[in-house]
Amino acid sequence: MVRDGTAGGASPYTATMTLRELRRQLRAGRRAIPDAERRVHDRAIRASLSQLGVWQRGRPVAAFLRMPGEVDLLPCFDTAWQRGVRIYVPHIVSRRDGRMVFVPLEEGAAVRGNMFGIAEPLHGSRGRLPVRHLDTILVPLVGFDAQGHRLGMGAGFYDRALRPRLDRAQPFRRPRLIGVAYSIQQVDRLDPAPWDVALDLVVTERGILRFPPHTP
């Protein structure tokens, strides 16, 4: 099913909530999804990603290794590797500067938790690929709205990594930015900051939400 960014089923919250409170509510909501229901949702989301042609032979795609409560993309990886898809995942270079790069995740690669407990390949930043050379980035999120605005964990790593998309002098439209979330994470409206980078699509268990192009 494809929806054009309507806000049906948006999570209830009040305009007086702080972003911290909203994050807390949304994270609690996704953690509360029963395991059996979550597995069904995850299969539907992975099917929609395949429908979008994310895992096409030879293309470089950035994905993520899930934290508790996030969508599990691992079952997609084996098929993607067999097709020759080059998979990249985030690697935090500097917490102080908020710098994050995308590094290759090879089949069978050893990983370890970083400072936030997120799994990363042991090889660090070796083999990192500039953002503009990626075909698609699958973006984890805490919340999103019907305009494609994203609420992350608050550290700003993705916004800094994707900042070139906001450059008026040298704009670029690749990579395609696809948010991956559960429908319970949709809210009525988010007020983006000037440095926030909007998504092109969001995939939930209910289908694919497409958003109009955003002007930097």
Q: What is the mean pLDDT of each run of 10 residues along the chain (216 residues)?
A: 42 66 94 97 97 93 94 94 94 81 90 82 84 93 94 82 64 80 95 85 97 70
d(CA 202, CA 178): 5
- Please check whether residue 64 is in contact with residue 89, taking contact to mean a CB–CB distance below 8 angstroms: yes
Residue 2's pLDDT is what? 34
Neighbours of 62 (CB within 10 A): 23
Neighbours of 87 (CB within 10 A): 22
Residue 16's pLDDT is what? 60
Global pTM value: 0.87
Could you tell me the strand order of the sheet in which 2-3 lies?
A: 2-3, 207-210, 201-204, 176-180, 136-140, 60-62, 86-94, 99-104
Residue 206's pLDDT is what? 97
Find the DSSP H helices in 85-162. Answer: 157-161
Ranges assigned E (strand) in 95-147 = 99-104, 111-113, 119-121, 136-140, 143-144
Q: Name the helix (H) or strand (E) containing 79.
A: helix 74-82
Domains, the chain, with CATH or none: 16-210 (3.40.50.10420)
